[in-house]
Structure 1
Amino acid sequence: MGECEAETGDTRRTTVDVSVIIPVHNASCWLDECLQAVLNQDFTGSLELSVYDDASTDDSRAVLESWKEKFEAKGVSMVISGHHSAQPRGVGYTKNQAISQSSGRYLCFQDADDVMMSQRVSLQYETALLQPDTLIGCGVRRVPEGSTERYTRWINSITQEQLLTQVYTSHGPTVIMPTWFCSRDWFCKVGPFDEGGKGVPEDLLFFYQSLRQGGGMARVEQCMLVYRYHERAATHSVLEETIWKLRVDFLQERVLSQWESFTIWNAGKQGRKLYRSLSLANQKKVRAFCDVDENKIQKGIYTYEDSKERPKPRIPVLHYREASSPFIICVKLDMTEGVLEDNLKCLQLTEGVDYYHFN
């Protein structure tokens, strides 16, 4: 059965309010804590847990089976399946399988190594009822404490407006995958997840497709998830250049296609890399680079030596106060002790109109 058979009149698939979707691969050391937290939900509607095991070689399957009676005793159905092939098929495939075997009208995504707070399902469900075509996230607490400090601060402090304006940054989806909650109908319109396997950013691909379809982004402000950092996380297998290309393409599609010209804020390595990654048509729209570094500004010109055009493009390098908007900002957020943010404020620019962050 497919992920979207709820739309075809299979009434069995519309009897549960929320399905918690958990992909599993060699997660036995975390599963007890993860599953206990699902069992502790204060949600008063009907709940189901759908788990798919992606060729685990540890005792994940046995741990899952040992919880079935506990869930059923509390009136929560638990659907468990998986495969035992020699190789795992990846997170996208595993999530799709867990969704396919589930029956909830709403989907709550949960990683096997994370822990949800007792109010997570109820709060996100209430939000989703009001915003059916939206990916709903929530605040997180990162463990171990202090790991990925800037990233965690960004997740929790980004505003509702920035959930949409900062989708081009290297942080990835502004509503992070382990916190996703959405209607099955919306998932079916956008999905399924890409099943390319290891190294494929299935969450970012889905996130961008959701935006293309006109989907919204929202976040429950409270911390509703303990978000674990460890070296075995699937995120670490995604290639940086794959993410870069996706971001550049989406930026060109959604923003640069609407602008007649623009300035790249950063005359250094990242700004030049962005310029080189653009289509020829968008390279021609770059009126200048700007920077705060006097050494770069004094050079006055960036020459794109690898260009096949003759003469080779020569782009002015200006002080940011001399440059004109709109800007693509290629300076990392939260890395300059507030200097970048203050500079943007003093120019009285509006994010999402006069500039977008890319780094």
Structure 2
Amino acid sequence: MSEAAGGPGPLAREGPRACGSARAECNRSAALSRPVSDNPQLQARAPVPSAIGEGCRVQVSIILPVHNAECWLDECLKSVVEQDFQGSLELSVFNDASKDSSMSIIEKWKFRLEDAGIWVIIGGHDSSRPQGVGFAKNQAVIQSSGTYLCFLDSDDVMMPQRVRLQLEAAIQYPSSIIGCRVRREPLDSTERYTRWINNLTHGQLLTQVFTSHGPTVIMPTWFCSREWFCHVGKFDEGGKGVPEDLLFFYEHIRKGGGVFRVDQCLLQYRYHPQAATHSVLEETIWAHRVRFLEDRALKHWTSFTIWNAGKQGRKLYRSLSSANQKKVAAFCDVDENKIAKGFYTYQESQERPKPQIPIKHFRDATPPFIICVKLDLTGGAFEENLNTLDLKEGIDYHHFN
């Protein structure tokens, strides 16, 4: 069986062991054996104690980090209860020093979740400062026991079929991160980004990993086996300002992981000013992206062309290591004024004479290309120009837009 989006086949049986304290022993209280909900959809799932399998492993753990999420938690947790998955399911919540009523809301929902056959594990700390999303997610994974991990942000909402459909995909692609299509809330927010998330082809889930948008399947949609998660390693725990999801995604790719998307909308993905992603500086993301591009693509090329002789193309050139700068054969563009200049002089260079890189029309340039032109912004003109060259994405060019 081939792996999703170009990744490897299934893990060998002697592969990675379970990470952290996956709770080899569990203390299940008999007092938790309450009746199953009257909701017919939920009656198919067994009550909590009988749902726990051999070795206290459930099939799926929903991983939910929480920090000051009181205004979203009711809707988020309701979507957990309403999952149509009929196997064993648990919710692992880690509270990262919330100062609002988040914990009261979680405790209220705990009884309803367990009545529905969903075991609830609650961990956390109440120190003066949060430890960050990476730490909270790692702790939620450690205290959980599911064979598969379903990641969820406290400000998002799952569609009822999410766990069921993503588990089916994860079983088929055991060393892949499984994502899904999303609905953005509000609907008119980040329109280009949402279109990119939902419309990448399955091949582009791997070929477009260098773009400015980040992981080609967004973090709140991630679903994977615990075994594969532990093989990749934990999230970076550097705290605020660290793109822990992007760094994990890069390490996942480095270790041969695949990427697969369930082509149904399984998540309402909320946009708001308080989202943790806004704390990560653009320059931090840029630096990580450049290093990943150099490690995964440029080291295999003896020379290449940067498509865009403007601001973004020149910025990429200046960000490259000295060795990779020497591989840049030319810039290319469609702007006649830039082309007429003939070359770009790298003024910041300590070399004498200063490097001068030719600027050519894209039809006169030689692949492979690193493309620093944003997609979906030129009314199709750029995409049409690229298509005329009859090149193969991921081999003849990579997007770095």
* Coarse TM-score class (shorter-chain normalised): over 0.9
Q: What is the aligned residue count?
A: 358
Secondary structure of the residue aligned to 2:72 is helix
Q: Does the aligned pair in 2 maintain the 1:6–1:13 contact within 8 Å?
A: no
CA 6–55 in structure 1, closer or farther in 2 if over 3 Å, else same: closer
Q: Distance in 2 between matches of 1:14 and 1:40?
A: 23
The answer to whether 1:138 aligns with 2:138 is no
Q: Does the aligned pair in 1 maintain the 2:21–2:143 contact within 8 Å?
A: no
The answer to whether 1:260 aligns with 2:299 is no
Q: Distance in 2 between matches of 1:9 and 1:51?
A: 19
For 1:260, give the aligned amino acid: T
Which residue of the partner structure matches residue 185 of structure 1? 227
Gaps of 5+ in 1: none
Q: Cα deviation per residue 1:44-80 (whole Å; 9 max; x = unaligned)? A: 1100000011111110000000011111111110111
1:306-317 alignment, distance < 5 Å: 306-317=348-359
Which residue of the partner structure matches residue 124 of structure 1? 166
- Shift of residue 279, structure 1, vs aligned partner: 0.8
Q: Distance in 1 between matches of 2:23 and 2:260?
A: 25
Q: Which stretch of the first structure deviates more once superposed, 6-15 or 300-309? A: 6-15
1:117-266 alignment, distance < 5 Å: 117-266=159-308
CA 188–13 in structure 1, closer or farther in 2 if over 3 Å, else same: farther
Provide TM-score, normalisation by structure 1: 0.97
The answer to whether 1:338 aligns with 2:380 is yes
Secondary structure of the residue aligned to 1:16 is coil
Which residue of the partner structure matches residue 150 of structure 2? 108
Which residue of the partner structure matches residue 51 of structure 1? 93
Q: Distance in 2 between matches of 1:111 and 1:147?
A: 18
Q: Distance in 1 between matches of 2:132 and 2:227?
A: 24
Provide TM-score, normalisation by structure 2: 0.87
Secondary structure of the residue aligned to 1:311 is coil
Q: Distance in 1 between matches of 2:297 and 2:84?
A: 42
Which residue of the partner structure matches residue 282 of structure 1? 324
Q: Distance in 1 between matches of 2:322 and 2:348?
A: 12
CA 44–8 in structure 1, closer or farther in 2 if over 3 Å, else same: closer
Secondary structure of the residue aligned to 1:19 is strand
Q: Distance in 1 between matches of 2:342 and 2:389?
A: 22
Which residue of the partner structure matches residue 345 of structure 2? 303
For 2:364, give the aligned amino acid: E
Q: Distance in 2 between matches of 1:76 and 1:306?
A: 59
Secondary structure of the residue aligned to 2:71 is helix
For 1:70, give the aligned amino acid: R
Which residue of the partner structure matches residue 84 of structure 1? 126
Gaps of 5+ in 2: 1-17, 27-52
For 1:221, give the aligned amino acid: D
CA 25–6 in structure 1, closer or farther in 2 if over 3 Å, else same: closer
Secondary structure of the residue aligned to 2:107 is helix
Q: Distance in 2 between matches of 1:171 and 1:13?
A: 40
Q: Distance in 2 between matches of 1:28 and 1:9?
A: 32
Secondary structure of the residue aligned to 1:29 is coil
Among all aligned residue pairs of Structure 1 and Structure 2, give the percentage whose two residues are the same amino acid. 67
Q: Distance in 2 between matches of 1:333 and 1:179?
A: 23
Q: Distance in 2 between matches of 1:14 and 1:84?
A: 28
Q: Distance in 2 between matches of 1:318 and 1:150?
A: 29
Q: Distance in 1 between matches of 2:55 and 2:226?
A: 10
The answer to whether 1:353 aligns with 2:371 is no
- Shift of residue 84, structure 1, vs aligned partner: 0.5
Q: Distance in 1 between matches of 2:283 and 2:187?
A: 29
How big is the alpha-carbon RMSD for the aligned residues of Structure 1 and Structure 2? 1.4
Q: Does the aligned pair in 1 maintain the 2:22–2:145 contact within 8 Å?
A: yes
